[in-house]
A and B are shown apart, each in its own frame.
Chain A
Amino acid sequence: MEQRQKYVLWFQECDISSAPIVGGKCASLGELLKAQIPVPPGFTVTTATYNRFIEENKLDQEIKRLLKPVRPEDTASGEAASQAIRKIIEDKPISVELEDYIGEFYRLLSKRCQVPAVPVAVRSSATMEDLPGASFAGQQDTYLWVRGIDGILHHVRKCWSSLFTARAIAYRKKMGFAEQAVSIAVGIQKMANAWTAGVMFTLNPANGDRSTIVIDANWGFGESVVSGLCTPDNFLVNKVTMEIVKRTISAKECFFTTNFETQMVEQHQCPAERACNQCIIDQEAIELARIGKLIEEHYCKPMDIEWAIDKDLPASGRVLILQSRPETVWSGKKAEPVCKPKLSAMDHIVSGLLAGKKVK
């Protein structure tokens, strides 16, 4: 193993077995890449990096000392400890060697994305997420549109320090988890710079048809689609044959972009000459559907997926999957036979004939 693999790993080097050092979030990104599902590219700053940072700055004893007076039932004591610990973590320097590992990977990532100092999301990837009841760990901080190595190192420390929110401290106290065993990894992932984006269901939410993939798409970021602020283009793709069965092109009146300077999402009016154009080409719709099918197979259930088509990445890898969660409306229903079972085909034929075909 290379030395650097102890401290930084590309997502494609991660899998479920690396969860203890890359955290649950990064491990699952690695699993998705293994299943040929294109998530935005990036890398993990492992728990070993955090551990070495603590060690190099001799923070271990300091943290222990600050945690000592905390009592689970006393929120104020937890709050005070959290503030103090987070401050010392965020103030301490990262050693040149660790900075070099992270900086080198960031440069490689920028090169791969063909963007100098590529904007990234810096997010914590906790190792305790799988513990029952510990789901709040996933709420640790996420920082979007971070650019440049200084900004990244700064936000990596903020993620590290998020291990010591008042809630997390109280929780670990209550459960009696050893503070020394606690560690955290950080994911650095390209921000999707969406030319178009939207959502995709691996069944038809209108009628529950599982042979259909439905895609909603608009210009810019997916917020306009998710929030329902605009009527998106709508595509029905046959999941079995990967053919577009129906396309509805809407007048898309607004869209969202991000201002790199302010790191804020901005809403725009769509110019009239662009509003009624199909915002993803047929090949992209089919590529999305193909990936949607893979995601459904990966999770073994119908999924609700957020996606984007990236402006920066090379043409072959522009389609990106941002989020996927299980579809709940139709999948939540108990599986009932659609057709009452019968003894033979003949019985079905007779009852079909008797019913006839409604033409109204």
Chain B
Amino acid sequence: MGDQKFPSPHEIETIPGTEGWQRMYPYHYLFSTQNEERKAYEENMFWFNDGLHYPEPMYPFDIIWDEAWFLALSQFNTRIFMVPPAMGVDHRIINGNIYITPVPVSDPAEIQARIPQFMERAGYYYEHWDELHENWEKKMREIINDLKCLEVKTLPQMEDLSVVREGLGISSGYELLASYDKLIDLGIRCWQYHFEFLNLGYAAYVTFVDFCSRVFPDLPLQKISQMVGGVNVIIYQPDEELKKLAKLAMQTGLGDQILSAGSIDNVTRQLSSSESGRKWLAAWDAAKDPWFYISTGTGWYHHDASWNDDLNVPLNSLRVYIEKLKQGHAIDRPLGNIQAERERLVKEYRGLLQTDEDRNTFDQLHGTSKLVFPYVENHLFYVEHWFHSIFWNKIREVAAIMKDHGFINDIEDIWYFKRSEIKDALWDLVTGWATGSKAYGPLHWPKEIEWRKGVYQKFKEWTPPPAVGKPPETITEPFTIVLWGITNESMSAWAKLREIGDPDQVTELTGFAGSPGVAEGIARVCRSVKEIDQLQDGEILVAPTTSPSWAPAFQKIKACVTDVGGIMCHAAIVCREYGMPAIVGTGQATSIIKSGMQIKVDGNTGKVDIVR
């Protein structure tokens, strides 16, 4: 990376018209220009833009998950498992874009001292993985249940008589403040759990990857993840439910009715009138919790709606399956083939090893990776999809109260508040309600929010540098390696992207080779899952990212290109299963490629050619 030059974090200029943007984010996220010690530290670290999680700038509220993983990931490395050479990952923000840097343990003696601690602690987790994991699932179900049960109540003109009769001694105002605190607390706590296993999982996987690439320098990363990936992972379950519902509809002769009935409300109305229809609707309702809590995005942004938020989304996907069944196609994932191919890969690569020692190492590391991988694949459904989908709507309930009291004009304005500002505003609101005087918020916030929206728009139009600061020689933090794939090549690719001037002149894009194969065809840009019904058979899907709710799209396309994602993202995994090429993490495919363009996708090299 030595030959790549990146700007100093303190050199990045404020976009004209956004002066004062810093107040939209936590103060400790800002690169310091005041304190010399802090400034020197920041200049010496290598900060890269986390475009993997954040293809768009941060909304002041949505930064909550960034704060949550900032803490959770770091504490498990630094304080809980005592990863010998790696501490946490530090975070900053520039013009709404998150920059992160892994913090190494620099004192060799300290690294040595941490080894036995790590062996004992991480060793315990690896040894008791299955039972601890079972316990984890239990904790997750409990916390999701707590979240669902959490009530956000409006403030009455006069408290109910029961407050007096039962001697409660507290008001709805106090309860509102408390429920907001509880809501935030549940979110942060859930993210504590998120990282309980994740770093250990990645550490095991990285070690296996490392071994494989030493023995087989040409082995593509995608094959390694295929060797350890699970077949029945929970993240596919929502899609499986739709397939089941499609089959049930066909068996009970409801297929055509569902296809032609229009919106979900009409479908419900029409089906309610028959016995078989009511039975099908019952199955549909049963699938909603938890499976329709799958997000249509990654779950990281408040605008990533879940299926439950818009039932027409799963309905349209369901229709794709019903159509397929009507045409006599099989819609099930070829589980047997996937399993057999996985076993063949493992057997053949193992067979190419030259010594018993290496075969033994292969078995040890492959075994551990396979043990940890289900967690790596499954945690997303629990946290980013199930929990987040409910969480965003709970915050909307808080927003509704703020809107009622004139603090905001629209519920969706709440995302322009920092979470601490919401707490402050609620105090303002509640004390105003309690006092009977007028709160200050309605005079202050609507104006401020308008200004923030303008700033956010300018952030969106700005292209963040891929990295700032000083590149290191070695990275030891397992996350940084697996997720962001920080290598010389990725650095160069980033540097190249920045040089692109006119997007209409670009004829070539590069990303991670997510799934092998070559395909040429017409591009279809779908910015959200709602647009996948525009896909024609045999087109190439170009999307910001995909999630399991996009599954039906893969029935139609012959290749996939995404802006965001690594070798283990949804699009890469699904394309490998279907045996079609995928290029992920291209950075800006959706802004350069237009629907109707002829493109060539090479999933072996990670290159997209645009025919102009």
Contacts and interface: CB of A to CB of B under 8 A. Distances in A.
Interface of A: 204, 207, 209-212, 236, 238-241, 243-246, 282, 335-339, 341-342, 344-346, 348-350, 352-354, 356-360
A240 B211 contact: no
B122 interface: yes
Contacts of B86: 353
Nearest to A351: B207
A353 B354 contact: no
Contacts of B216: 209-212
A238 B603 CA distance: 14
Of A207, A245, A338, A342, most buried by chain B (CB within 10 Å of CB) is A338
A87 to B, nearest CB: 55
6 contacts: A338-B214, A341-B357, A342-B364, A345-B368, A358-B473, A359-B1
A342 B204 CA distance: 15
B218 A354 contact: no
Given A243-B516, A345-B364, A337 B218 contact: no
Of A204, A344, A350, most buried by chain B (CB within 10 Å of CB) is A350
Given A244-B604, A338-B214, A359-B1, A346 B123 contact: yes
Which range holds the interface residue count of chain B? 35 or more
Rank and list the top 6 A-B pairs by shortest CB-CB distance, nearest first.
A356-B476, A337-B357, A345-B368, A352-B207, A335-B354, A345-B364
A357 B479 CA distance: 12
B83 interface: yes
Nearest to A343: B364
Contact of B358 (A204, A240, A337, A359): A337
A344 B487 CA distance: 28
B576 to A, nearest CB: 11
A336 B361 CA distance: 13
B581 to A, nearest CB: 10
Contacts of A207: 217-218
Interface string B476-494: 1010010000111001000
A341 B363 CA distance: 12
A245 B607 CA distance: 12
A353 B84 contact: yes
Interface in B531-561: none
Contacts of B220: 238, 245
B355 A349 contact: no
B471 interface: yes
Interface of B: 1-2, 83-86, 111, 115, 118-119, 122-123, 126, 203-204, 206-207, 210-211, 214-220, 223, 344-345, 348-349, 352, 354-355, 357-358, 360-361, 364-365, 367-368, 471-476, 478, 481, 486-488, 491, 516-518, 604-605
A337 B364 CA distance: 15
A54 B154 CA distance: 114
A348 B367 CA distance: 13
Contacts of B119: 346, 350
A346 B122 contact: yes
Nearest to B371: A345
A245 to B, nearest CB: 6
A236 B216 CA distance: 13
Contacts of A244: 604
Given A241-B345, A339-B214, A346 B126 contact: yes
Contacts of B491: 359
B215 to A, nearest CB: 5
A191 B357 CA distance: 46
Contacts of A238: 218-220, 223
Nearest to B471: A359
Contacts of A342: 361, 364
Contacts of B488: 359-360
Contact of B211 (A211, A335, A348): A348
A211 B360 contact: no
Contacts of A348: 207, 211, 361, 364-365
A344 B364 contact: yes
Of B85, B210, B223, B364, most buried by chain A (CB within 10 Å of CB) is B364
B10 to A, nearest CB: 23
Given A344-B364, A349-B204, A356-B85, A337 B352 contact: no
Given A211-B219, A338-B358, A243 B352 contact: no
A213 to B, nearest CB: 10
B211 A350 contact: no
Given A353-B207, A357-B210, A359-B487, 8 more contacts: A209-B219, A238-B220, A338-B358, A346-B126, A348-B361, A354-B111, A359-B488, A360-B488
A344 B119 CA distance: 11
A210 B85 contact: no
A350 B111 CA distance: 11
Contact of B218 (A209, A344, A356, A359): A209
Nearest to A282: B518
Given A338-B358, A345-B368, A349-B207, A359 B349 contact: no
A211 B352 contact: yes
Given A339-B214, A359-B475, A349 B368 contact: yes
B474 A345 contact: no
A200 to B, nearest CB: 15
B476 A339 contact: no
Contacts of B357: 337, 339, 341
A335 B355 contact: yes
Contacts of A211: 216, 218-219, 349, 352
A348 B449 CA distance: 52
Contacts of B352: 210-211, 239-240
Nearest to B363: A345
A339 B518 contact: no
Contacts of A358: 473-474
A240 B223 contact: yes
B475 A240 contact: no
Nearest to B203: A349
Nearest to B478: A353
Contacts of A240: 223, 344-345, 348-349, 352
B455 to A, nearest CB: 34
B604 A243 contact: yes
Contacts of B223: 238, 240-241
A356 B102 CA distance: 12
A339 B115 CA distance: 20
A349 B81 CA distance: 13
Nearest to B1: A359
A359 B207 contact: no
Given A345-B207, A356-B85, A356-B475, A204 B217 contact: yes
A293 to B, nearest CB: 10
Contacts of A212: 216, 218
B604 A338 contact: no
A346 B116 CA distance: 11
A352 B211 CA distance: 9
Nearest to B2: A360
Of A244, A338, A348, A349, most buried by chain B (CB within 10 Å of CB) is A349
